[in-house]
Chain A
Amino acid sequence: GAGVSQTPSNKVTEKGKYVELRCDPISGHTALYWYRQSLGQGPEFLIYFQGTGAADDSGLPNDRFFAVRPEGSVSTLKIQRTERGDSAVYLCASSLLWLAGGPYNEQFFGPGTRLTVL
C-alpha cells in the first residue's frame, strides 16, 4: 500500500499478557517513530529508529516496552506484562530521511492500534 499500515487495528488483552503491535512504514522510508496516545490527549513520543537501530528510545516508559526493526522496514512494538495503564492508541509514523531538513523529514502516520488492557 501507499501509506503506513498498522496491525492489528484493535487489540484487547488481559492484564499481565504479552502483546506485539506491528508497523509497516512507507516503502523506502528510513526513519520510523512510535507514539502513544492516551484518551483525549496528544501523542507522546516513545522511540525512533534510523534504519535498524533505535536512535532515541527515551520515551519508552519502562523496561516492559521494547521495539525492534530488524531489517530496517517493519517494526514491532512489544509490551510485556501489560497493565491497565497501557491502554491507549499506539501510533506509528515514518519519514523519508532522518538527516536532511525540510519536507524530507515529514512524518506520515498510520491509523494506529487501539490497545485495551482489561
Chain B
Amino acid sequence: AQTVTQSQPEMSVQEAETVTLSCTYDTSESDYYLFWYKQPPSRQMILVIRQEAYKQQNATENRFSVNFQKAAKSFSLKISDSQLGDAAMYFCAYRFQGANAGGTSYGKLTFGQGTILTVHP
C-alpha cells in the first residue's frame, strides 16, 4: 500500500520570504502522480501543483515549485515570495496512474497528514 508522510505539522514564514514543506512517500509503482493541495479554513481543497513521476523536470507554477527526488521518494514544495493568502493547511498527495486488469484507472488519492502554514506580516 502507498503511504505519504509529512513530518512537519506546522511551519511559519515571514511575508515575502521563502518556505519549503517536506513530503516523503512510499510506493512500489513506477507510474504515478504527486500533488500538493492547499486547504484554507473554508475547507475547499485547491490543487497547487502536480508532478508526473516519469518527468525528471521539477514542476513550477508561478511562486510554487517542487523538488522531486524519485529515488529518494521525496517531494517538497517551495513557496517563494510568501503572501498572507498562502496561509492554509497544505497536503501532499499520491495517485497511482496505472490501470487494473479491467482497464480502469485507480483514481483515488492518498494524502499525508498535512502541514499548517502560517504567514507573518
Contact = CB atoms under 8 A, between A and B. Distances in A.
B108 A43 contact: no
Interface in A61-96: 89, 91, 93, 95
Interface string A87-118: 00101010100111110011101111010000
Given A40-B114, A42-B112, A91-B45, A31 B107 contact: yes
A42 B106 contact: no
A48 B114 contact: no
A43 B45 CA distance: 10
Given A101-B97, A111-B43, A42 B108 contact: no
Contact of B104 (A33, A55, A101): A55
A105 B105 contact: yes
Contacts of B97: 101, 105
B121 interface: no
Contact of A106 (B47, B103, B108, B110): B47
A45 B114 contact: no
A105 B93 CA distance: 14
A100 B112 CA distance: 25
Interface string B23-64: 000000000010000000011111100101000000000000
Interface string B77-121: 000000000000001010101010001111111111110000000
B108 A48 contact: yes
Contact of A43 (B44, B46, B104, B109): B109
Contact of A41 (B42, B108, B110, B114): B114
A104 B117 CA distance: 29
Interface of B: 4, 6, 33, 42-47, 50, 52, 91, 93, 95, 97, 99, 103-114
Interface of A: 31, 33, 35, 40-45, 48, 50, 55-56, 59, 89, 91, 93, 95, 98-102, 105-107, 109-112, 114
